[in-house]
Structure 1
Amino acid sequence: MTIKDTPEEWEIRATDTPFVGNKTSVRTDEVVMPDGTVVGRDYQVHPGSVAVLALDEADRVLVLRQYRHPVRHKLWEIPAGLLDVPGENPLHAAQRELYEEAHVKAEDWRVLTDVYTTPGGCDEAVRIFLARDLSEAEGERFAVAEEEADMELDRVPVEELVRGVLGGDLHNNCLVVGVLSLVAARAGDGLDALRPAQAPWPARPFEA
């Protein structure tokens, strides 16, 4: 048996969108279960996201600290952002986020992993990239506002982040998944065996 997620779609008898926000919406589907019953399922419709685990030559990860209102915490995170345009190339979006949030560029890009953040209640798909060969970006720094105006930036050794994740001190989904995936990749076939930056992403198809 191959352990692999597979696409499948059960019959939907009716659908409604009771809320439409600026970036996301809430949808209610009436879904036919295997026993024939019809059950309502509410979930958030999300455009998708990208995140960047940027690793420097000193084996430190570029992280930022940002206020997240829904959980009432300031969280340490890796640079991330929404796919603003349907069909947007995720690599281009990741390069944009690294520039805007950290004023950094990278020469080597790989796909670290792809995840559904909360598949029981949201269809958000995130592609997490590994970025290496970092350098300061040219030109003016991107103007920040709202939560990002209070953002802190740092570079933290990988082993310190691992301790924070396993110790229950770090909680951001992309940081946790990204850091542990980095460690797993190193222990396996190595970072150069990771998928190329333009690898297909069925959850959010794009043009290279």
Structure 2
Amino acid sequence: MTDDSLSWETIDSQTSYTCPGFDVETDDVRLPDGTETTFDYLSEPPAVIVLPFTSDDDVVVIEEWRQAVGRINRGLPVGSVEPDDRSLIAAARRELREETGYEGDEFEQLTTVEPMNGAANSVYHLFVARGCEPTAEQDLDHNESIRVDTTTFEALHDAVANDEIRDGRTVLAVLRYLIADERNP
């Protein structure tokens, strides 16, 4: 049951800044004590994260330049759900194919999370893909620089445990997969 006494009332909302991939929204709000203030947050479309396993049980990973942190990031395929996607699984299939050139036989949704709900309306849908094989060329967006590789899940797990992988979406996927695996031995 929701405690409505914590709810904020949105009086007005406007987009303060827009660019490809996200907007910055500004809401005029009334807090529970009656105080009126503004609240800014990042608004972006829902996204899918894919933990793709090959037929040999390796994991397809990517290396991608990340301008915001000024380095190459090792992680998993991730991308926004697009209006033409018929379902979340269709979005996961498309993102895997576009970023890696791999396609999977089976997709299973593990969880949905709001990773930064104090500062953004981001929603990530995490999928595990199995039976992934290279079937096509990458189809990258104009602003993507991605190199594809494979590794064992153990090596990916170790890289997360040893702080070698800092991408939060990849860390989330590895840890959530481990939890699911523990529940279903």
Structure 1 stretches of 5 or more lacking a match? 191-208
- Residue 36 of structure 2, aligned match among 35, 38, 47: 38
Shift, 1:135, TM fit? 2.2
Ranges in structure 2 where 5+ consecutive residues have no aligned partner = none
Could you tell me which amino acid in structure 2 is paired with residue 121 of structure 1? Answer: A
SS at match of 1:161: helix
The 1-side partners of 2:28 and 2:84 are apart by 26
**Residue 17 of structure 1 aligns to which amino acid in structure 2?**
T
Q: TM-score, normalised by structure 1?
A: 0.78
Answering whether residue 26 of structure 2 is matched by residue 16 of structure 1, we say: no
Distance 1:15 1:143, change over 3 A: closer
Asked if structure 2 preserves the Cα contact closer than 8 Å seen for 1:113 and 1:178, the reply is no
CA contact (8 A) 1:76 1:170 kept: yes
Distance 2:165 2:138 in 1: 27
Shift of 1:23: 3.0
Q: Which amino acid aligns with 1:159?
A: E
Instruction: Compare 8-17 and 112-121 and name the one that shifted more.
Output: 8-17
1:1-208 matches, cutoff 5 A = 10-85=8-83, 88-137=86-135, 140-144=136-140, 146-148=142-144, 150-190=145-185
Equivalenced residues, count: 182
Q: Deviations over 1:162-204 (max 9, x none)?
A: 22112211111221111111111111125xxxxxxxxxxxxxx
Contact 2:85 2:91 in 1 (8 A): no
Q: Hey, which of these two has a bigger chunk of strand by percent?
A: 2
Q: TM-score, normalization: structure 2?
A: 0.87
Q: Percent identity?
A: 26
**How far 1:96 moved relative to its partner?**
0.7
